[in-house]
Amino acid sequence: MLTQQFVPTCQQMLGAMSAWLQKAEAQLTGKQAQALLGARLADDMFPLSTQVRFACVQAYEGVYRLRGEAFPDIVEELLAEGRGAGEAPGTFETARRRIDETLSFLGSLAPDALDIDPDSPVAHALPNGMIFDLTARQYVRDWATAQFYFHVMIAYAILRKEGVDLGKADYVAHLLPFLRPGMLPAA
């Protein structure tokens, strides 16, 4: 149950984010596109490049925390890249590669990889010393998914703020297979 609540969500939205980056790169010139990776929604927020990496981190952390396993080295690599993105935002190619690596990892999971007792305890300690005591169900619903969506949404908002032509259909592209035939609005 927890696997199906978390993993497909991450896969769908990381896939969408990769498509948004492709659209951005196609719509902007090389220098404009590169500058976009350093763009921020607000001055005190991380740039687009960081939001991409932190969304990937949330996917990895959710899986490893639920399995009770230590985080792999990729998590620290992504965190370091994200923290340093203000000075070295990287490239669109690197950002998409990080998304692809995360999608590959998520795709390698068994359909029941995270199906632990939903009431089992999960202690989530933050670097500032705060500790949250949650059940696995609460962790997936209230922390892992929420944090993942935060970074995805900030990435989307930065792209929109910077003039990339994205719309709701880009955000919910994963729902198009469920659209009733003949129900597309007239152009």
Q: What is the pLDDT of residues 68-94, one digit of tens each?
A: 999 999 999 999 999 999 899 999 999
Q: Taking the domain 2-178, which CATH number applies?
A: 1.20.120.450
pLDDT for 187 equals 66
When pLDDT is averaged across residues 118-126 and rounded to a whole number, the result is 94
Q: How confident is the model at residue 175 (pLDDT cuts 50, 70, 90)?
A: confident
Check pLDDT > 90 for residue 96: yes
Check pLDDT > 80 for residue 184: no
Check pLDDT > 90 for residue 67: yes
**Cα 138 → chain centroid:** 19
Query: Phi first, then psi: what are they for 69, rounded to 5°?
Result: -110, 155
> What would the two tokens of residue 8 be?
């497909």
Check pLDDT > 80 for residue 7: yes
CA distances from 9 to 58, 68, 97, 185 (A): 12, 21, 19, 26
Specify the pTM.
0.93
pLDDT for 143 equals 97
When pLDDT is averaged across residues 36-40 and rounded to a whole number, the result is 96
Check pLDDT > 80 for residue 164: yes
When pLDDT is averaged across residues 45-62 and rounded to a whole number, the result is 98
Taking the C-alpha atoms of residue 20 and residue 92, their distance in angstroms, rounded to an integer, is 11
Mean of pLDDT over the chain: 95
Q: How confident is the model at residue 181 (pLDDT cuts 50, 70, 90)?
A: confident
